[in-house]
A and B are shown apart, each in its own frame.
Chain A
Amino acid sequence: MEPVSLQALKRIAGLLGYDWTEEEIERLLPLVEKHLAALDQLDALPLDDVEPAVGWRIPSGTP
């Protein structure tokens, strides 16, 4: 995983319309790194032929 920089986080937050201070973003940095590392672990799964679970197995219709 590429190291995450404060500048990158500030840029992303700004693009999304959030005006967070350097101090606020600095506090988030270790949490972002931790969670992105957890997300990287998803690459260990065999996801090639797996579609996202954006639907659910709800039987359709009304009773």
Chain B
Amino acid sequence: MRDRHLKYLLMMPALLLVTATVIYPLGYAGIISFMDWRLSRSRVPTDFVFLDNFWRAFFDDPSFLNSLGVTITFVAGSAGGAVLFGLLIALLLARRGRGYSIARTVLVLPFAMSPALQGTSFRFFLNPEFGIFDAVLDTLFPFLAHVDWLGSSGWAMTWLILTDMWHWGPFLSLMLIGGLLSIPSDTLEAARVDGASAWTSFWTVVLPQLMPVLAIAFVLKTIFSFKMFDYVYLLTGGGPGESTSTMTYYAFRMGFTAYDMGYASAIAFVLALLLVVVSAVYFRLLFPRGEAG
């Protein structure tokens, strides 16, 4: 068979599956973001209101603007944090030897844990009366003894990010360990012979070699951070105040507690648009010659 046909044939099943599933719901959601669809008044979308929903979001709804800021804070913190955490783990555990391979066994577990279980558990762990995290932290850092971990904006956001990092960091590290171990040992050897310290060889040899994997990990994590919902829902409920109310959580609130599906869709599409822009910029920066495809 000729490549000319083969290349499309190979791609076809995946493209068909994805488009067949996504086109309808996505199109539907896209259309209702331009419509008035309040479930409390009607079972089906009613009037075409053009940009009203988007106008309301940007010019008439401080809560939405707040959620935009919260989302950006969270994404920056958790994507950066998780990749850094992953890199740290990878550097520690990317060695040969039985002990290391047993230690690595642990890395899939946090990722495999259902966010529902993790979110609920972490909330208990942070309880100032019978939470294990609270107890341990109070013992290690007595000056933090009276902190109500989810009761102030700063700490609530910090724990949201830490929770997400705990889930993702180890998984990302698995990707990075693969990358680290595939750096030819003679390259490192050569650097050592040249008298480079571990520190300089990390910057000059390891990091550049690792860059493609790091980039993928970072983009992947950014997308998931933008979409993160479970931990806000389970840990903080967007609070205190609206200090951890991300866009996904706000869209959920508007759709499922305020019954306003039109507005919820509009918020979701703003988020999607934001993601398209951010990813496009990433792709440009990371793969300047368009080699990412």
Q: Are A and B bound to each other?
A: no
Residues in chain A within 8 A of chain B (CB atoms) = none
**Which residues from chain B sit less than 8 Å from chain A, CB to CB?**
none
